[in-house]
Structure 1
Amino acid sequence: MTDHRTGGAWDLIVTPWHLDEHIPAFPIPATATQVIRPALPAGPTPARMSLLHRAALEAVTQAARPLVLSGDCPTTRAVVAGLQRHHRDLAVLWLDAHGDFNTPAISTSGYLGGMALAMLTGRTPDLFDDTLGLRPVPDTSVVLADARDLDPAEHEALTTSHVRRVPADPAAISSALDQFGPIPVYLHLDIDVIDGAQLPGARFPSGPGPSLAQIEECLAAACTTADITAAYIACAWLPEHVNDQTSRQTITRLTAALGANLSWH
């Protein structure tokens, strides 16, 4: 196993989609190694997402150390399925203002983007086909940081789960990751974990929260503590804001905290 705590190059993969909707304005760094743009036929959203996720899976499987920039959270399915082809055990660090722990049975909106972590832990078995070969990640292998904005039923589901919840604090994250030992860790970050005042144009702003600088410290602490074998940043801005200068600067700072150096066209 390669231990990435000493650094290591990232393979930058961009999936400029929100669910099954392509985001034409999504910023593509010059340093991107692959951009996922499959042709999706008309059809139900889950079926279209399955095709997108299969394309992302192939890119992730070929990458030595994938760093994914995406417009949503559910494409995480493809990343974890790809990692599971190389790693028998995998832990997940999930930084998000939301829990993403809704399921079709408890969601008040039916929004698939709010189910991404539930998807990884095997709680949405009937949403998609099984062509990814995704194995459910045990609750005990998941750390959820922040999650300050939860629906009532989602809060109850998390409370009765074995997912470990911690604040978005570098020391708390390091302590939680220490308990996993040497197994590789997949790091997932939704930008809305950052204080809403610092995120103009966020798709789902969640009000006061940790600063961008504090989240940078969390990412750096995770990379120092654990073998971060892959990372994912959900760039959940509204389409008309995702390519703003401030949005690009935020992406640049977050990826730099992970040890990646982005350059833009």
Structure 2
Amino acid sequence: MTDHSTAGTWDVIVTPWHLDEHIPAFPIPATAAETIRPALPAGPVPARMSLLHQAVADAVARAARPLLLSGDCPAARAAVAGLQRRHRDLAVVWLDAHGDFNTPAITVSGYLGGMALAMLTGRTPGLFDDALDPRPVPDTSVVLVDARDLDPAERDALTASQVRRVPADPAAITAALDALGRTPVYLHLDIDVVDSAQLPGLRFPSGPGPSLTQIEECLAAACATADVAGAGIACAWLPDRVNDQTTREAITRLVGALGADLAWPEPAAR
């Protein structure tokens, strides 16, 4: 195992959006390199998301080692597209309570956030009418961690795929990454993978799951094993909870597990 844990510093990019909706209260670290706030014209949600993702991809492509803090999982589509501008091949490690493997054909709710990993593997052609679409990541280059909360058709789609599924266990993630070889990795984390009793205010709580400490260990193991070219944390709390002290502390801990330090602005004087 090669130790990559201290290979380079992180450029924190903040995308304070959930799908096409801006989140005014989203916490912006004082140490952020860039915050993405494009003016989006009125129109269909996918069209607005396309413009947002173009801006995110450009920022990721400019960053030496991007770490994206976003309000949703589909922002990973933009992060991967940006990284693919300089990496011919890219693997994805996806830590999530959900599979995010729904498609327009099988989704029950129609929620675009539940299709994020399917987007990356080329299963949603035509969903976004733009030139951003990342090159599909082969199923064999995807490691899905946890995914304890799946829709029935989504479960069937994953079973039929070649996506590798592992538990939220550092040793299992290390073994899966060793099997991928030296391909650079995009490491994605949706904070709802953490036991929902430990993180109140999640948009989509999924009940009992791994502890925050266990997920920190998983992130550290991934960074110590693989060439993590970029990472993203979907800070998917409810809008009125995303800037709580407990959420900031969780974000700080998870970013710290990746080897980065966050500093937050001082509270405004009253």
The TM-score, its normalising length taken from structure 2, stands at 0.96
TM superposition shift of 1:219: 0.3
Deviations 1:49-92 (A, max 9, x none): 00000000110010000000000000111100011110111110
Contact 1:4-1:229 at 8 Å conserved across structures: no
Q: Give the letter for the 1:83 counterpart.
A: L
Q: Give the letter for the 1:150 counterpart.
A: L
Deviations 1:214-239 (A, max 9, x none): 00000000011111110000000000
Q: What CA distance in whole angstroms lies between the structure 1 residues aligned with 2:181 and 2:130?
A: 30
Q: Equivalent residue of 2:14, what SS?
A: strand
Q: What CA distance in whole angstroms lies between the structure 1 residues aligned with 2:54 and 2:89?
A: 21
Q: Equivalent residue of 1:233, what SS?
A: strand
TM superposition shift of 1:180: 1.1
TM superposition shift of 1:137: 0.3
Comparing 38-47 and 6-15, the one that deviates more: 6-15
Q: Give the letter for the 1:164 counterpart.
A: R
Name the counterpart of 1:25.
25
Moved over 4 A (4+): none
TM superposition shift of 1:24: 0.0
Q: What CA distance in whole angstroms lies between the structure 2 residues aligned with 1:70 and 1:47?
A: 18
5 Å-filtered alignment, 1:1-265, equals 4-265=4-265
Q: Equivalent residue of 1:189, what SS?
A: strand
Q: Equivalent residue of 2:147, what SS?
A: strand
Q: Give the letter for the 1:184 counterpart.
A: P
Contact 1:7-1:259 at 8 Å conserved across structures: no
TM superposition shift of 1:190: 0.1
Q: Equivalent residue of 1:60, what SS?
A: helix
Q: Give the letter for the 1:102 counterpart.
A: N
Name the counterpart of 2:268.
none
Contact 2:72-2:235 at 8 Å conserved across structures: yes
Structure 2 unaligned segments of length 5 or more: list them. 266-270
Q: Equivalent residue of 1:26, what SS?
A: coil
TM superposition shift of 1:133: 4.4
Provide the alpha-carbon RMSD of the alignment: 0.9
Q: What CA distance in whole angstroms lies between the structure 1 residues aligned with 2:108 and 2:14?
A: 30
Contact 1:20-1:49 at 8 Å conserved across structures: yes
Q: Percent identity?
A: 79
TM superposition shift of 1:116: 0.1
Q: Equivalent residue of 1:122, what SS?
A: coil
Q: What CA distance in whole angstroms lies between the structure 2 residues aligned with 1:183 and 1:143?
A: 13
Contact 2:235-2:242 at 8 Å conserved across structures: yes
Deviations 1:111-140 (A, max 9, x none): 000000000000001110231141000000
Structure 1 unaligned segments of length 5 or more: list them. none
Deviations 1:153-199 (A, max 9, x none): 00000000000000000000000000111111100000000001011
Q: How many residues align?
A: 263
Q: What CA distance in whole angstroms lies between the structure 2 residues aligned with 1:256 and 1:184?
A: 20
Q: Equivalent residue of 1:186, what SS?
A: strand
Q: Equivalent residue of 2:197, what SS?
A: helix
Q: What CA distance in whole angstroms lies between the structure 1 residues aligned with 2:247 and 2:29?
A: 13
Q: What CA distance in whole angstroms lies between the structure 2 residues aligned with 1:254 and 1:211?
A: 12
Q: Equivalent residue of 1:237, what SS?
A: coil
The TM-score, its normalising length taken from structure 1, stands at 0.98
Comparing 125-134 and 7-16, the one that deviates more: 125-134
TM superposition shift of 1:6: 3.5
